[in-house]
Amino acid sequence: MKSAHRGAPARLRSLPTRLISQTALLADRATEQALADTGSRRYHYAVLTTLREGGPASQAELGRRTGIDRSDIVAVLNELVARGFADRTADPDDRRRNIVTLAEPGAQHLAELDRRLDQAQDGLLAALSGAERRTLVALLTRILDDHTGG
């Protein structure tokens, strides 16, 4: 990837859309490698993190908070519950809804996923200082928020 970028015409090397796209490919690979032998995928990580930070939530709320489609959130939750990482119980106020909570084994698994993903971030962003990393995250967040109404 490095040599393809360095050998590309200056116009291509200066297009933010192309740079973001090429970097996203590297980021995706780094994330997949970090999660490879954990039995977890990005969706699992997103749900576990959301439960840790936001507390128990309905399946529908988890789907909204994570951006996981309704048709996929049930399968993700089934996998997490089967592995003992999350608990799903009927909402006492509305028996038609399920409330999902983070189980202790899920919190422990999430700590391992965090460690691995932190290492992936460090590898991907090795060329940047801490301040540059914070600036990059702030700028990417601003772009994303501008386009998603965040």
pLDDT tens, residue by residue, 39-83? 999 999 999 999 999 999 999 999 999 999 988 999 999 999 999
Number of folded domains that form the chain? 1
CATH of the domain at 119: 1.10.10.10
Whether 1 has a pLDDT exceeding 50, the answer reads no
Nearest to 58 by CA among 102, 100, 90, 95: 100
Tens-place pLDDT, residues 19-29: 999 999 999 99
- Sign, CA dihedral 62-65-71-73, equals negative
Which residues are CB-neighbours of 68 under 8 A, at least 6 positions away? Answer: 43, 46, 47, 62, 76
pTM above 0.85, yes or no: yes
Cβ atoms of 6 and 17 closer than 8 Å: no
Distance, in Å, from the CA atom of 60 to the CA atom of 72, rounded to the nearest integer, reads: 11
Domain region containing 43:
2-148
Strands (DSSP E) contained in the chain are 57-58, 86-91, 94-102
Question: Whole-angstrom Cα distance, residue 142 to residue 132?
Answer: 15
Instruction: Check whether 127 has a pLDDT greater than 70.
Output: yes
Q: How far is CA 90 from the centre of its chain?
A: 27
Alpha helices in 96-129 (DSSP H): 104-124
Question: Residue 92 has what pLDDT?
Answer: 87
